[in-house]
Amino acid sequence: MENENVIEVRNLTKKFGHFTAVDHISFEVHKGEIFGFLGANGAGKTTAMKILCGLSRPTSGEGKVNGYDINREQEKIKRNIGYMSQRFSLYPDLKVWENIRLFGGIYGLSSSTIRAKSEAMLRYLQMENLRNELVGRLPLGWKQKLAFSIALIHEPSIVFLDEPTGGVDPETRRMFWEMIYATAEQGTTIFVTTHYMDEAEYCDRVSIMVDGVIADLDSPAALKQRYHATDMDSVFRQLAVKAQRKE
Ligand code: ATP
């Protein structure tokens, strides 16, 4: 079967004045794959990801996310993707159920749909007894699992995860990745940035950005073979060592 692309970009470029943060990058992401978007600090990941999420316009280049044009259909992109990051996630001063209701409403779901989904979500997360807890009082790992589920509440075909497991303990990271696998198995595409190289191994394909360009992109197995490496950490270091940019 031919791969169906959920993301396609060609020569995507973003300049800030004379500085080119993202420099003519081109790639595709297939439906249902777990796509790792790696790069050293300052490589341009966040800048590129903002464009793919409809939050920023490229200086030049073209592309589609979910079939919507990144230059002309940003509002449609925003409504049709899921997004979670550690920096922007849930409201700590609201209770668990209030966060679910808020984001369900933002994505335009009806009250009855939100109620049904929130019950199913709390059951799945085994958080039924925490529905009245303030999100700010949850351990980070629970917060991130809840944030991931909420990012999927409107059943987007692609979800962007920006360092979703930063600072989370290894056991919870493992559970988080089980959720990612289960979600991808249902056909949802996962676009994930991470600094953890063991997590890069879990991706179907990995792109590694260095100084605004994609230095390489392939499956972890193919990358390891190409760079005569036993793990992704070694692949990453061999590519990132060429970086000129400072953080
Ligand atoms: P990190 O892992 O640290 O988040 P990153 O790969 O996401 O790094 P970006 O945040 O995309 O990197 O930044 C890429 C480069 O563009 C950096 O050198 C950064 O200083 C620069 N940059 C980002 N946003 C702006 C802006 N609004 N104005 C000027 N320069 C910017």
Looking at the chain, the whole-number percentage of residues with pLDDT higher than 90 is 79
Q: pLDDT, tens digit, for every residue of 110-127?
A: 999 999 999 999 999 999
Q: How far is the CA of 141 from the centre of ligand 1 (A)?
A: 27
pLDDT of residue 190: 98
What is the residue with the minimal CA distance to atom 2 of ligand 1?
41
pLDDT tops 90 at residue 200: yes
pLDDT of residue 246: 63
Residue 50 CA, closest ligand 1 atom number: 11
pLDDT of residue 224: 98
Three-state DSSP at 134 gives strand
pLDDT of residue 141: 85
pLDDT of residue 35: 98
In Å, how far are 115, 165, 192, 242 from 237, measured between CA atoms?
47, 21, 19, 9
Residues with CB under 6 A from ligand 1: 16, 19, 21, 39, 41-47, 245
Residue 17 CA, closest ligand 1 atom number: 29
Question: Which residues make Cβ contacts (< 8 Å) with residue 71, sequence separation at least 6?
Answer: 57, 58, 62
pLDDT tops 80 at residue 86: no
Q: How far is residue 129's CA from residue 96's CA, in Å, rounded to a whole number? A: 10
pLDDT tops 50 at residue 16: yes
Which comes out higher in pLDDT, residue 241 or 68? 68
Q: How far is residue 132's CA from residue 94's CA, in Å, rounded to a whole number? A: 9
pLDDT tops 90 at residue 168: no
What does DSSP say about strands 34-39 and 60-65: parallel, antiparallel, or unpaired?
unpaired
Q: pLDDT, tens digit, for every residue of 135-151?
A: 999 988 889 889 999 99
Q: How far is residue 111's CA from residue 105's CA, in Å, rounded to a whole number? A: 8
pLDDT tops 50 at residue 223: yes
pLDDT tops 70 at residue 92: yes
Q: Which of 56, 58, 50 is nearest to 24 (CA)?
A: 58
Torsion sign (Cα): 136, 140, 146, 147 = positive
pLDDT tops 60 at residue 7: yes
Q: How far is the CA of 44 from the centre of ligand 1 (A)?
A: 5
pTM for this entry: 0.93
What is the residue with the minimal CA distance to atom 10 of ligand 1?
46
Three-state DSSP at 152 gives coil
Number of H helices, E strands in the chain: 9, 10
pLDDT of residue 241: 87
pLDDT of residue 188: 96
